[in-house]
Amino acid sequence: MSVEIPKHLQLLDCTIRDGGYINAWKFEKKIVREVYRACSSAGVDFVEIGFRGNEKYFDKQDYGIWRFSSDENIREAIDGIAGTKISVMGDYGKIDCDDIVEKKNSPVDLVRIAAHKDKIIDASNFINNVKTKGYLTSLQAMGFSSYNSNERRELIKAVKNSGIDYLYIADSYGSFFPHQITGIFEPFLEIENLKVGFHPHNNLQMAFANTVEAIRCGVNIIDGSVYGMGRGAGNLPIESVVAYFESILKDQYNVVPLLNIIDEYFTELYREYQWGYKLPYMISGIYKCHPYFADDLISRREYTIEDIWRILGHINRLNPVGFDRGIVDDIIKKEGIIGEFNESTIAIEKGSIGGNREEGVCAVTYKKRHEGRDFLVLANGPNLREHRDKIKLFVEKHNPVILGANNLEMMFAPHYHAFSNKVRFMMHIDNVSPHSRLLIGENISRDIIVEYTHRDYETLCFRDVLDADFNIYDGRIQSNCRSVSVLLTGVAVVMGARRIFIAG
């Protein structure tokens, strides 16, 4: 059964603002113009043309013009189009009141100010100053899923009789489920002279279902973006909600203009930037934390989904405001690479296949094993394939001990094939030459090892510390061990190398 679409319901398109997180707000003016034209024809009530902010808070060279969205650029984008109303957003603390001129001198109709829960009172006061300039105003309560009961009551208190036109509940982390919507919105819908908005994200693929439930509850305005373009898993695709509305109110909405600009511009943008639903964003939604935590862990390229699940669980318990990369670093330092051991207990398992994981210590079995020999470290990279023949000639001439790692594409059979990254171990263990002896990092649990191989191995002993200088203590390497070639250079030293050569 469809939900009745109330006459007062409004739609706001935030493509150029929220989508700007994907491309640093570097939209061509032509695209901005066509988004405005299409939304105007589709029945959308507001188009948010980027952020408004003060350049003193930013390194301007990192951003396109729509991070600052001057009135001049907005006028140029909409010139000659009989279009819908215009919104801009400001992040509280990154915008000054002087950045907003009197309404009579601006094409902007609605100014939205986004704030985290620790800045709500100050942001409300800022918005009231903006309102005196003649604008419609809105407070965007970011990260609402992290609010506790007291913080929700404080938000209600802040907006009651404040004069703010709209209060937006932002599901910034995509954590809401439909059965929660009524309890979230009803206390705000009871406030007189306040319109309530919903800004959904799609981490759990619930943006549309949550939106339908919010409409049923009586919200006044809904956000969406073209093709769902937005930070993390993206936003409610505005074309889907317009198509839904059109099926009920055919004379009021028309999805075709939106479909046309998707076909013309946004499929290409999607191929380039690949926003949208991903498994780590689903996990960040479950754990109600900023999707940038998931992005950060993905970018490190060394954690499995199981690791990310554990780390985001730790972050959830800390309940931080917004994103802070230092939180991830602290968790890794305290809890260990795989998120379940700390530095004092990491790799204390007994009974590895190689038999050298002793209680409380990683026993270095290969110290001085090849003392006085030359070593060749094969670092992964395109140069291995390009110079394969030269490398083999070098090996024939110097007869070095060869240390390789990760994916050597079966081009070489090193004396030792090493893995210090669990993800790469799981991906490439089947491509290790049977003539190579395995060195497997102490950070990789025995359960993982025996699940993926039954070969003998030795434990590669190291202490992975993000901010420590390179050093070797009784054969155990201390380093920021993100580069396995650096780690293997240390192994060569421990083994007694006379000279070390590196290729790759």
Are residues 373 and 497 in contact, defined by beta-carbon separation less than 8 angstroms?
A: yes
pTM of model > 0.85: no
What are the tokens at 449? 């090892």
Is residue 10 predicted with pLDDT exceeding 90? yes
Res 341: pLDDT: 36
Chain centre distance of CA 463: 28
Residue 361 or residue 97, greater confidence:
97
Is residue 344 predicted with pLDDT exceeding 80? no
What are the tokens at 153? 């009551």
Which stretch of DSSP H or E encloses residue 252?
none
Query: What is the identity of the amino acid at 210?
Result: N
3-class state of residue 325 by DSSP: helix
Highest mean pLDDT among 358-362, 405-409, 411-415: 411-415
| 10 φ/ψ angles, rounded to the nearest 5 degrees | -120, 155
Mean pLDDT for the stretch of residues 12-18: 98
Is residue 141 predicted with pLDDT exceeding 50? yes
Is residue 371 predicted with pLDDT exceeding 90? yes
Res 46: pLDDT: 98
Q: What is the pLDDT of residues 230-269, one digit of tens each?
A: 988 999 999 999 999 999 988 899 999 999 999 999 999 9
Mean pLDDT for the stretch of residues 470-488: 80
Confidence of residue 338 (pLDDT cuts 50, 70, 90): very low
What does DSSP say about strands 85-91 and 46-51: parallel, antiparallel, or unpaired? parallel
Highest mean pLDDT among 38-52, 385-399, 421-435: 38-52
Distances (CA, A) of 485 to 264, 420, 480: 45, 10, 12
Q: What is the pLDDT of residues 66-122, one digit of tens each?
A: 999 999 999 999 999 989 999 999 999 999 999 999 999 999 999 999 999 999 999
Is residue 312 predicted with pLDDT exceeding 50? yes
The mean pLDDT of the chain is 89
CA angle at 287 for the pair 283 and 291, rounded to the nearest 5°: 60
Mean pLDDT for the stretch of residues 288-309: 84
Res 211: pLDDT: 97
Is residue 468 predicted with pLDDT exceeding 90? no
Is residue 495 predicted with pLDDT exceeding 80? yes
| 403 φ/ψ angles, rounded to the nearest 5 degrees | -115, 120
Confidence of residue 481 (pLDDT cuts 50, 70, 90): low
Highest mean pLDDT among 163-177, 275-289, 458-472: 163-177
Res 500: pLDDT: 95
Confidence of residue 381 (pLDDT cuts 50, 70, 90): confident
Confidence of residue 479 (pLDDT cuts 50, 70, 90): confident
Highest mean pLDDT among 5-19, 30-44, 371-385: 30-44
Name the percent of the chain lying above pLDDT 90.
Answer: 66
Is residue 9 predicted with pLDDT exceeding 50? yes
Judged by average pLDDT, the poorest of 61-65, 163-167, 374-378, 420-424 is 420-424
